[in-house]
Amino acid sequence: MADLTCPSCGAALPVRDPGLPYSTCAYCQTLVRRGEAGSLEAVGTVAVLPADVSPIQIGTVVNRDGIAATVVGRVRWGWTDGSWNEWFLRAADGRAFWLGEAMGMYMLTSEYPRVLGVPAIFNFVQGNPMARDCTVKADGKWLTATDIKEATCLGSEGDLPFPTLPGWTMTNVDFRNAAGDALSVQRDADGTTAWLGVWSNLAGLKPANLRQIEGWSIPRALA
Amino acid sequence: MTTARAITCPSCGGTIEIRAAGYTVTLACRYCGSLLDVAHEDVRLITAYRRAAKNFAIPPGARGTLFDVEWEVIGALRRRSGSALWQEFLLFNPYSGYRWLVAADGEWQFGTMLLDRPEDDRLAVSWRGRSFALEDDAEIETTTVVGEFYWRTARGDKVQGATFANGREQLSRETSADEVTWTQLIPVTAEWVEEAFTVEQRHMPRAPRPDLTEGFRKAPGMAEDDLGKMFLIALASLVLILMVQVFLSGPRACSDGRATVEVGAATSTHRIGTIEVRRPWQLVTIVVDSDSFTNRWVDLDYSLVNRQTQQSIDAYGIVEFYTGTDSDGPWSEGSHHAETLISQVPRGTYDVYVDAGAHGWPSDPTPGSIDPANPWGQGETVALWFNSCTGGFSWGMFWLMAALLFSVPGVIFWWRHDS
């Protein structure tokens, strides 16, 4: 696919994932919506991402069940007591993943819409609050809601499935269990999505093309 | 994308570089110690302090290689539980995340937060197919913080910390109001840590001195509930002693007697009863009550004379009662009642005698003088009623036992609450 140019500044706007409607211009922070017929529309300006030392970057590849998935975009979420990155990945088989970063650990999840029908989650989908310690079953695993956050978009880069303009908010519920399984349910203006996966350290993702962070060398086990 | 994030301390104006930008939420200024909220772009002062915490075994900012990974010490905590004090260092590598180095009792541990949590049980947990037994469960308090942390922390933070052990490997569970975190702790040698980092030996938490009080204050795994048991055992022992004392005091056989003594006269001897001791050894109690005199005392020298052997066992008693008025107003002192306990009286039949001498205070009335209150009297007398009994209960012994039994748990209780 031919690369596009930013309708605002004219800089090159690489298409990393043609299946995603939104792309952030790396030069002028314009949020561009790509239409069905190849149309481009500037819909606003995205906040500049705050500095961080994440080892992930656009283009980083992680491995899950032998399938490689490539990072195509990132959104940074802020809540009252901090902020975190969520990286959007597209696998070779077309599956989409979110890679959430927290406390130097990673939560790699793929979409699992079936759990949205579970009564406790369906109730949440309909706009009701989620109870902490609520337990649900997803793909044969029992998981407990441990973390409920109201998050605001702090900025974005690359290609993403939703508009990351300032003021875009979502409610995030993280479920986990003793085995290290993870379920993340996110509700925003566009609706609710559910993502099921695992907690892992970086080495467990067998990553490639990590970001070179100034002042640090990539440990041998990850290089 | 820049990696460094430099902020200005709103309290002291110092410039601080955030090392784990994007993760760090709380930062304790390395210049003034003030606690800052750096979760958002605008830095917010949480608590201002005047002096940064210093004297950690490894200064924040140090880098060293452990397990083939280079780590930077980005935060340090001093924590305590009971009398145990230790230091925890938060290690960071952007590719490997966070780890802990814990310095306690002159030893080091390397900690990794667990993503797969142990199966909970009260006294043991199983993790990755191995069992870890509960070693300790106590409140942990953070006393000092310096550097940066990925969670909200502050001086005075308290969590409930439980330690489970399998050999020298430990799993630590920390429970706060918000969450439960599990950390695996493996021992690492001091030499190994010193190869990686410059360790300030003089700032290492001291190994506990093996003194007596240490054992009182820190009994692993029992710190919470042994004291209550000790008090219960002491109480149960005291009840047992009470029962034994009551049992040993019997059988009870009494004999009454009476005597009248003249105040100021020479001591006179009176037989006040006969008692029979039927056990090999028994206590004998002599109770005396007098009529109500004031400003007199009566010395009572008791003798138990064995009818067979004529051997005598002696004891002493006194009844005395005084009144008067001084600068504090009227006062009275003494009692018209007295008890004398005679211990270890061998089996036998005894005649009980008393040599009684009554005296006036501050001086004896002059013999032959006429008391205006009692002009026809033959001289003032004091009447005494005696009751001599075999058996008796030694309250003195009972309270001595009570003091001894409760002294050990009492001292421990005092130690724990004093420190």
Across the interface, whether the CB atoms of B96 and A199 are under 8 A apart is answered: no
Of the candidates B79, B87, B89, B75, the one whose C-alpha atom is nearest the C-alpha of residue B27 is B75
Average pLDDT, chain A: 91
Q: Strand B268-290 vs strand B337-360: parallel, antiparallel, or unpaired?
A: antiparallel
Chain position carrying tokens 């002491």: B234
Q: Select the residue from A52, A71, A87, A211 to test the B interface by mutation, using most B Cβ atoms within 10 A.
A: A52
What ranges make up the beta strands (E) of B233-307?
254-262, 268-290, 296-306
Of A53, A103, A104, the CB nearest to B3: A53
Report the C-alpha gap between A118 and A98 in whole angstroms: 21
Closest-approach residue (CA) in chain A for B117: A178
Give contacts of B1 with chain A, Cβ < 8 Å: 49, 51-52, 57, 211
Of B2, B94, B98, the CB nearest to A103: B98
Of the candidates A101, A73, A75, the one whose C-alpha atom is nearest the C-alpha of residue A153 is A75
Residue B229, classed as helix, strand or coil, is helix
Other CB atoms within a 10 A radius of the CB of residue B120 amount to 13
Radius of gyration of chain A (CA): 17
Secondary-structure class of domain B254-369+377-391 per CATH:
mainly beta
Other CB atoms within a 10 A radius of the CB of residue B223 amount to 18
pTM of the model as a whole: 0.67
Closest-approach residue (CA) in chain A for B7: A51
Chain position carrying tokens 């009492």: B410
Predicted confidence (pLDDT) per residue in A135-193, tens digit? 999 999 999 998 899 999 999 999 999 999 988 999 999 999 988 999 999 999 999 99
Of B21, B70, B113, the CB nearest to A53: B21
In Å, how far is A36's CA from the nearest CA of chain B? 31
ipTM of the complex as predicted: 0.91
Torsion (CA) A25, A31, A36, A39 in degrees, nearest 10: -70
In Å, how far is B31's CA from the nearest CA of chain A? 23
In Å, how far is B134's CA from the nearest CA of chain A? 19
Asked whether the predicted pLDDT for residue A61 surpasses 60, the reply is yes
| Domain segments of chain B as ranges | 16-217, 254-369+377-391
At B217, give phi and psi (nearest 5°). Answer: -80, -30
In order, the DSSP letters of A120-170 are: HHHHHHTTPPPPTT-EEEETTEEEEEEEEEEEEEEEEEEEESS---TT-EE
CA distances from B134 to B102, B141, B162, B355 (A): 19, 20, 7, 70
Query: Tens-of-pLDDT digits for all 419 residues of chain B?
Result: 455 688 999 999 999 999 999 899 999 998 999 999 998 888 999 998 888 878 899 999 999 999 989 999 999 999 998 888 999 999 999 999 999 999 988 889 999 999 888 877 778 899 988 999 998 899 999 999 999 999 888 888 999 999 999 999 999 999 887 778 899 999 999 999 999 998 888 888 876 555 555 555 555 555 556 778 888 888 999 999 888 888 877 788 889 999 999 888 888 999 999 999 888 888 899 999 998 888 888 999 999 999 998 889 999 999 998 888 888 888 888 889 999 988 888 999 999 999 999 988 877 776 656 666 665 656 788 999 999 998 877 788 889 999 998 888 888 888 877 66
A201-214 burial, b if ≥16 CB within 10 A, otherwise e? ebebbebeebbebe
Predicted pLDDT at B54: 81
Report the C-alpha gap between B26 and A94 in whole angstroms: 39
Give contacts of A103 with chain B, Cβ < 8 Å: 23, 97-98, 113, 150-151
Of the candidates A14, A96, A22, A85, the one whose C-alpha atom is nearest the C-alpha of residue A56 is A85
Predicted pLDDT at B171: 94
Structure tokens belonging to residue A176: 């986990």
Predicted pLDDT at B1: 46
Across the interface, whether the CB atoms of B94 and A220 are under 8 A apart is answered: no
Residue B338, classed as helix, strand or coil, is strand
Of B21, B68, B119, the CB nearest to A51: B21
Torsion (CA) B146, B147, B152, B154 in degrees, nearest 10: 10
Chain position carrying tokens 């949205």: A116
- Scanning B124-225, the segments in alpha helix (DSSP H) are 190-196, 212-217
